[in-house]
Structure 1
């Protein structure tokens, strides 16, 4: 097992050379990258574009920005099989429309990189769906999209004798998060996390790392329910990189972040390498080792001790059940997929 997480080791890793991105042949294969008009998502998409994909979908909230990114991608990679599709993760309607369009038009899905994320606003912002925006974008919609596309990925595995992958982009920030009894003793902990205004005021400062922990719980839960490891579900930590996510910072926080970036941050291209490894790397590893893996520094690492603890396991199971209840109300197909195409765990 890899050594336990330490801040000193993380600082050292930020300063050492990072491994190159792996490269494979994606001929005939379809790839989706969310949040791919900028940052890590865009750099990951450029890597995939150089692997000869049949179809590369840049899933972006702003289609104009997506088209501008597409022009750059085509010019830099020579790839002309990429497309821009609209996807606003702050809207369940948009997620449903994207999944419906994909399932109608595309016969296979080999790689889904769930990269899109936002930082919390202060004061917090609610979406038109009634959820705090960071939670809906980073967690609810990310999970909804993955679940709605799982059937197509299972079909891809059967029809084309391949092993598709879902990559949920998380962060080492999840290691600083854990949910207390005020949330977890609730009968509906995710509703408390995403709607309770008094609770939101208490936790907004640590909300990003909390959403990254929820990403970990979701990916691990889904990975355990994929029948016969037909689809690999894993998580990727891109490391500390220059990011527009933090562009809204002001005052002391902005100055501190500027100094931290100058001292430690890597480029978004370097960060994207770990995401690409999660999507196509480790080909010689057994499926059992790749399934549910946490990818760090282009290798299989380990999640936080809390996630692996008995308490973490209880939280993971409770939050999965809660998530499925919520998403099934948003889209009844979710319950059909969970009951009909995923395996049930014995608790």
Structure 2
């Protein structure tokens, strides 16, 4: 994996499949960030069709969340669908969202961390001061993965037998970055320097590599009752690309991109199937090797370094919260 020719070949020849019809999710609760549009919404609709009992949509815009809720209920009127406000540029918003989940949910079986951005120019978050791809795709995702451990780990204690699931949406583009910032004294601080943003999709690609490194470290720290994995949904014609004005991108996507529905199939497959996939990278609905860098000794060092830097940054933002209390 990782080469452009192979990537294009798989996009043209592989057809993502929906969850088998005989799988029932009755009684389970799923939480999906970025669930009001694109792949997140399609994943929610598919899981609702498999009788999942409750869906929590983490959305930045509540009116759009309510519209997504109505769309799901049109197809699956018996599902309990809730739209909760969530802004991954805001540490207080993420903390409040996770606290709400811990208090209001009697169980949490599946989390799909799908919210993300793809920005091709340097934009600093007005809320946090961090570069936006890194803030939303890595820092926000990492914080939520820690804050949601409490309800995820409570569920199998009350209902033994089935581990809960945490799936991070990453991408094959994690193969396509040099990640020179890994050698900086502080990688996350270096990623906030405008002069080192890179060209084209490089920063987005790097943020997806950070996802893979983070989930692999997290998976090594949680017990067997929580399965942590990452999924490459493939190139899909979704709202993720709304800011991409690269010449020819629309024509390219018309030829090679899967639909958002097909991308949703890949998310649901990763979140429901592959019970052996602890710390795994899933692509084309199977367990695949991540990039050679990720599994190298240098990659392991970068993984540990990223974990330590990220936890320190998050702890500074949430000084009264013990982020590592849940067996990490």
* Length-normalised TM-score, structure 1: 0.89
Within-5 A mapping of 1:273-288: 273-283=265-275, 287=276
Among 273, 285, 293, the residue aligned to 1:306: 293
Q: Write out aligned runs for 1:118-267 (5 A).
A: 118-120=117-119, 122-161=121-160, 162-180=162-180, 183-193=181-191, 195-200=192-197, 202=198, 205-227=201-223, 229-250=224-245, 253=246, 255-267=247-259
- Go from structure 1 to structure 2 and tell me whether the alpha carbon gap of 1:7 and 1:197 turns closer, same or farther (over 3 Å shift): closer
Q: CA deviation at 1:301?
A: 1.1
**Gap runs ≥5 in structure 1:** none
Residues 157 and 164, structure 1, Cα contact 8 Å, conserved in 2: yes
CA–CA separation in structure 2 for the residues paired with 1:322 and 1:9: 34
Say whether the 8 Å CA contact 1:26–1:52 is kept in structure 2: yes
Which residue of structure 1 aligns with residue 4 of structure 2?
7
Q: Which has the higher helix share?
A: 1
- Structure 2 vs 1, CA of residues 204 and 9 (structure 1 numbering), >3 Å: closer, same or farther? closer
Cα offsets for 1:10-56 (capped at 9, x unmatched)? 21211124242224322221100111111100000001111222211
For this pair of structures, how many residues does the alignment match?
325
SS at match of 2:220: helix
Contact 1:19-1:273 within 8 A present in 2 as well: yes
CA-CA distance at 1:196 after TM superposition: 2.5
Preserved contact between residue 178 and residue 306 of structure 1 (Cα < 8 Å): no
Residues 262 and 19 from structure 1, CA distance in 2 versus in 1: closer, same or farther, beyond 3 angstroms?
A: closer
Distance (whole Å) between structure 2 residues aligned to residue 5 and residue 185 of structure 1: 23
Task: Note if 1:271 corresponds to 2:263.
Answer: yes
| 3-state secondary structure, aligned to 2:300 | helix
Pair 1:295 & 2:310 matched: no
Gaps of 5+ in 2: none
Determine the C-alpha separation between the residues in 2 that align with 1:163 and 1:332.
Answer: 30
Structure 1 CA distance, aligned partners of 2:78 and 2:57? 13
Report deviation, 1:333.
5.9
